[in-house]
A and B are shown apart, each in its own frame.
Chain A
Amino acid sequence: MTSAASHSAPSGFLARRLQGLRIWWTMLVICLEERLVYRGDFVLGTLMRFLPIVTQVFLWTAVFGATSSGSIAGYSRNDIVAYYLLTMVSRAFSSMPGLASGIARSIRDGSIKKYLVQPVDYVGYLLAARIAHKLVYYAVATLPFAGVFLFCREYFPPIPDWTTLGAFSLSLVLSFLLGFFMEATLGMLGFWFLEVSSIVFAYMLVQYMLSGHMFPLDMLRGIPTGVAGVSVADVVRFLPFEYTAYFPAAVWLGKVQGAELVRSLLVEAAWVVVMIVACRIAWWRGTRRYSAFGG
């Protein structure tokens, strides 16, 4: 009897796990199909993301043309172009368009309540949906990305060694998770404020500037904060934003190496854990104060 129980417990556990995986896989497939319904819109949106990089390349070429220095904040003109292209790769992983506003909307219009009564984890569902979104995006964007990178290959330093490539890949996966849980947590604020569009916009502004998406964060090293010996770059390093754009690009370009690289990856992983916990707490506390609106 004891032996039978001890055998059935693991098989029950395994069955539950398999059932969970099956649900998650179904959610992923549904989300993939949903993404592919409006293919034209999706392809157009994907291709357009390359347009801003063109203006940045010309802007920085003009800036370098007007300055006698061949290097700005440790970046040559080629480094800057390579940096912007690499931040596009980082943002392809970490950007989560519509995630926070979508969560807040489902809280506001009451549609979130179906996730409260179904045996589906809402955050897990959102993660599956986002992975589906990204998979479709990568499928569409790989070719244009490869084309642009091939076209701009002269701007890049030689391909880094395997360790750096591994660290780069890891930093991208972590940036995806960090971006997802940061935005999901932001969306959960909808349990308290209902309308979070202004908060999301403010977050986007801060994120755009402090993530390194707008310019390499090393350029902030010379900007004083008013505190002796502390630059704006030093302050920005204490925030999680740089891991969503700057850090992966800096890893590829060899700006972060050795012990500093390991330390930064650990800090990035720690930020992911912090945001997962914050997201879970926000969900747990939010659903306890939630009142359903809508039919």
Chain B
Amino acid sequence: MTRYLSIFLTFARACLVRDMTFRANFVLECVTSLGWMAMNLAFYLLVFTFTPEIGLGTGWTKEPFFAFVATGMIINSIVQALFMPSAEELTEMVRTGGLDGILVQPLDAQFLLSMHRVDFSAFANGLVGVGLLCWAIPRLPQPPHPIAILLYPLLIACGVAILYSLVIMLAAATIHLGRNQSLYDFWFYLTNFSRYPAEIYSGPWGGPLRALCTFVIPILLVVNVPARVIAQPLTEQGGMMVAGTVFAAGAALLISRWVFQTALSKYRSASS
């Protein structure tokens, strides 16, 4: 474990050195990334000019909703920074045969393939998320319970674990498809479901969709549970959701590991 941590830190240091070599590009990437966030925040502000809350009686008024958005920004920035760059490279490695070089290394292939690149500019969104959370928390109708503050980092970690598992399973699909240029798009579209409170998925179609995105692909647990814990009063149902999220994160990691290993066993080199 210590060996893997040390190797990961070496990767991270190398990526940081690379980023700092092209400082202007790094700053530009941070700015454009923040631009995307600013645009989304502007959209939410526009929505709140037409409505006092997202869904009647849901409690997602402006400040709690912005705490929700901030939580999503923090979780997504961690995944974008630590795992997405490597996963995107995998799609090209499979097509060109570059994966062979990774498989002969005396290290765990999943670790090498999912964590060898770190995009430090993606952390900019996370910092904005933290800032937005700090703005929203004092303005919440009810201040967060001390237990909620303790649970919040754990649930953030669970959210990251669920998304990481999803990235790994999508990357594994590359091995079957030969090329998966849509990986990033699919990631974006799927995580789109987690960007809004689960309460919006109601009615004859929304109910089953909510169940699907909670129990089958637990994408709705990723942001909803930590955001609910911090922005809304703790309830017994909330406690069940916390336990469910921890369980879902563990299960997602195990399943994604199995899916990835199975896909690797079917890999046939593309190089000569």
- A-side interface residues toward B, CB under 8 Å? 38, 40-41, 44-45, 48-49, 51-52, 54-55, 58-59, 61-67, 69, 72-73, 195, 198, 201-202, 205, 208-209, 214-215, 219-220, 222-223
Contact of A44 among B47, B182, B196 (CB under 8 A): B182
B181 contacts A45, C-beta separation under 8 Å: yes
B261 sits at the interface (CB 8 A) = no
Q: Knowing A48-B185, A215-B43 touch, does A63 contact B209 (C-beta < 8 A)?
A: no
Q: How far is the CA of A219 from the CA of B49 in the complex (A)?
A: 10
Contacts of A62 in B (CB 8 A): 54-56, 58, 196, 199-200, 202
Task: For residue B174, give the distance in angstroms from its CB to the closest CB of chain A.
Answer: 9
Contacts of A209 in B (CB 8 A): 39, 42-43
- B-side interface residues toward A, CB under 8 Å? 25, 28-29, 31-32, 35-36, 39, 42-43, 46-47, 49-56, 58, 176-182, 185-186, 189-190, 192-193, 195-196, 199-203, 206, 209
For B38, give the chain A residue with the smallest CB separation.
A205
Q: How far is the CA of A180 from the CA of B181 in the complex (A)?
A: 21
Q: Knowing A44-B182, A59-B196 touch, does A195 contact B51 (C-beta < 8 A)?
A: no
B186 contacts A59, C-beta separation under 8 Å: no
A41 contacts B181, C-beta separation under 8 Å: yes
Q: List 19 A-B contacts (CB under 8 A).
A: A41-B179, A41-B182, A45-B185, A48-B189, A49-B189, A51-B190, A51-B193, A55-B200, A58-B206, A62-B202, A63-B50, A65-B56, A198-B31, A201-B35, A205-B36, A214-B43, A215-B43, A215-B46, A223-B46
Task: For residue B98, give the distance in angstroms from its CB to the closest CB of chain A.
Answer: 17
Q: How far is the CA of A99 from the CA of B15 in the complex (A)?
A: 28
A40 contacts B178, C-beta separation under 8 Å: yes
Contact of A67 among B50, B177, B196 (CB under 8 A): B50
Task: For residue A227, give the distance in angstroms from its CB to the closest CB of chain B.
Answer: 19
For B27, give the chain A residue with the smallest CB separation.
A198
Contact of B49 among A45, A198, A214, A222 (CB under 8 A): A222
Q: How far is the CA of A295 from the CA of B43 in the complex (A)?
A: 47
Contacts of B52 in A (CB 8 A): 66-67
Q: Knowing A72-B50, A198-B25 touch, does A41 contact B196 (C-beta < 8 A)?
A: no
Q: How far is the CA of A65 from the CA of B55 in the complex (A)?
A: 6
B209 contacts A38, C-beta separation under 8 Å: no
B192 contacts A52, C-beta separation under 8 Å: yes
Task: For residue A231, give the distance in angstroms from its CB to the closest CB of chain B.
Answer: 13
Q: How far is the CA of A76 from the CA of B42 in the complex (A)?
A: 22
For B210, give the chain A residue with the smallest CB separation.
A58
Contacts of A208 in B (CB 8 A): 39
Contact of A66 among B28, B55, B209 (CB under 8 A): B55
Q: How far is the CA of A219 from the CA of B51 in the complex (A)?
A: 13
Contacts of A54 in B (CB 8 A): 193, 209
Contact of B32 among A44, A55, A198 (CB under 8 A): A198
Q: How far is the CA of A65 from the CA of B53 in the complex (A)?
A: 9
Contacts of B196 in A (CB 8 A): 55, 58-59, 62
Q: How far is the CA of A1 from the CA of B39 in the complex (A)?
A: 70
A205 contacts B39, C-beta separation under 8 Å: yes
Task: For residue A85, give the distance in angstroms from its CB to the closest CB of chain B.
Answer: 15
B201 contacts A67, C-beta separation under 8 Å: no
Contact of A48 among B42, B46, B55, B182 (CB under 8 A): B182
Task: For residue A189, give the distance in angstroms from its CB to the closest CB of chain B.
Answer: 14
Q: How far is the CA of A208 from the CA of B203 in the complex (A)?
A: 30
Contacts of A202 in B (CB 8 A): 32, 35
Contacts of B200 in A (CB 8 A): 55, 58-59, 61-62
A48 contacts B177, C-beta separation under 8 Å: no
Q: How far is the CA of A214 from the CA of B202 in the complex (A)?
A: 22
Contact of A63 among B32, B51, B186 (CB under 8 A): B51
For B54, give the chain A residue with the smallest CB separation.
A62
Contacts of B36 in A (CB 8 A): 201, 205
By Cβ-Cβ distance, the 10 closest A-B pairs, closest first, are A45-B182, A51-B189, A62-B55, A62-B200, A198-B28, A40-B177, A58-B200, A201-B32, A66-B56, A67-B51
Task: For residue A207, give the distance in angstroms from its CB to the closest CB of chain B.
Answer: 11
Task: For residue A29, give the distance in angstroms from its CB to the closest CB of chain B.
Answer: 21
For B24, give the chain A residue with the smallest CB separation.
A198
Given contacts A61-B200, A63-B50, A201-B32, 17 further A-B contacts (CB under 8 A): A40-B176, A41-B179, A41-B182, A45-B182, A51-B193, A52-B192, A55-B192, A55-B193, A58-B196, A62-B54, A62-B58, A66-B58, A72-B50, A198-B29, A198-B32, A205-B35, A209-B42
Task: For residue A43, give the distance in angstroms from its CB to the closest CB of chain B.
Answer: 9
